[in-house]
């Protein structure tokens, strides 16, 4: 559980846009009951979304 808690805290530090929308305790509970493949899939999806937002912001900024 402590590893998952640290992982979620790191995600929320990096995720400026969705930080206020995510309940950290709920996400910790969800990931804590997931197997490693589910956690990897969640992480991949999260990273893709983060990169998409970053790319969009870079295109908008001159």
Q: Report the pLDDT value the prediction gives residue 62, as an integer from 0 to 100.
A: 62
Q: Report the pLDDT value the prediction gives residue 38, as an integer from 0 to 100.
A: 94
Running DSSP on this structure, what letter comes out for residue 20?
Answer: G
Quote the CA–CA distance of 9 and 42 in Å, as a whole number: 15
Question: What global pTM score does this model have?
Answer: 0.71
Q: Which two tokens stand for residue 39?
A: 């956690």
Quote the CA–CA distance of 36 and 4 in Å, as a whole number: 11
Question: pLDDT tens digit string along 2-61?
Answer: 999 998 888 888 777 778 888 999 999 999 999 999 999 998 998 898 888 888 888 887
């Amino acid at each position: 559980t402590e590893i998952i808690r640290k992982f979620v805290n790191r995600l929320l530090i990096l995720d400026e846009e969705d930080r206020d929308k995510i309940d950290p305790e709920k996400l910790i509970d969800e990931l804590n009951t997931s197997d490693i493949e589910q956690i990897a899939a969640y992480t991949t999806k999260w990273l893709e979304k983060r990169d998409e937002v970053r790319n969009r912001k870079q295109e908008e900024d001159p």
